Amino acid sequence: MKKLLLIAAVIAVLLPSLVMAAGSCTQTAVRDAASTTTVIKFECTGDAADGSIPNTAINAANMALILDKAFLYLVRAYPTAGGTAPDAADVFILDAAGEDYLGSADGGTTANKGANLIHATLAKSALPYSYNAGTSFYFPVTSTLTLKVANQATASADYTIEMVFSR
C-alpha cells in the first residue's frame, strides 16, 4: 500500500510537467531569387505554464545561408495569425560573444531597441543598433546568432519573429 501511495504521489508531482510542454520555436529560411536577402522566420509558441521559450540559436542549415555572407538588416515581430495573442515582450539577438544586436547595454538583460518588440496585436520592427556607437548599425554575421525573448508571460502565446539579412 505504501508503494502504491508513493507511486501515486510521484505521478501527481510529475504529470503537470509532462503535460505542459516547454515553449519552442520552429525556424525556416526564405531567400529572394537573386540571393541578396534572406529572411529567417521563428514561429514560436510559449510554454503552457509561463509563456517562456528557451533561447534559440539559428540552426546550422540557416546559418550556412548567412554566415560571413550577410548583415542583419531588420528584426520584425508579430502575433501569429489564429494563435493565442502574446503580451508585450522584449527581443534580443545575441551573437556568440553575448552582444545584443538590438542594442542592449548589458548583453541581453535590459532591452533597448528590442523592448516590447512583441505586441499582442501589432507588427513591430527594429533596426539593429550599436549601443557603444549610439546609432543603427548593420552587423555582419560572423558567428551563430541566438534569439532570446524575455518578459513574455502569456501561456501558450503564438508569435513570429523574422530576422532579415542582406548582402
pLDDT in tens, 21-42: 699 999 999 999 888 999 999 9
Contacting residues for 32 by C-beta, under 8 A, at least 6 apart: 38
Is there a domain that residue 12 lies in?
A: no
Is it the case that residue 161 has pLDDT exceeding 50? yes
Q: Per-residue pLDDT for 128 more than 90?
A: yes
- Provide the residue type at 89 as one letter: A
Q: Is residue 71 part of a domain?
A: yes
Rounded Cα distance between 140 and 12, Å, is 50
CA distance between the termini of the chain:
68
pLDDT band at 107 (very low <50, low <70, confident <90, very high): confident
Residue 15 has pLDDT above 90, yes or no: no
**Average pLDDT rounded to a whole number, residues 105-123:** 95
Output the nine-digit C-alpha cell for 13: 508531482
What is the pTM for the complete model shown? 0.86
Domains: count for the chain: 1
CATH number at residue 29: 2.60.120
In the prediction, which pLDDT does 7 show? 43
Q: Containing H/E element for 17?
A: helix 2-19
d(CA 64, CA 39): 13
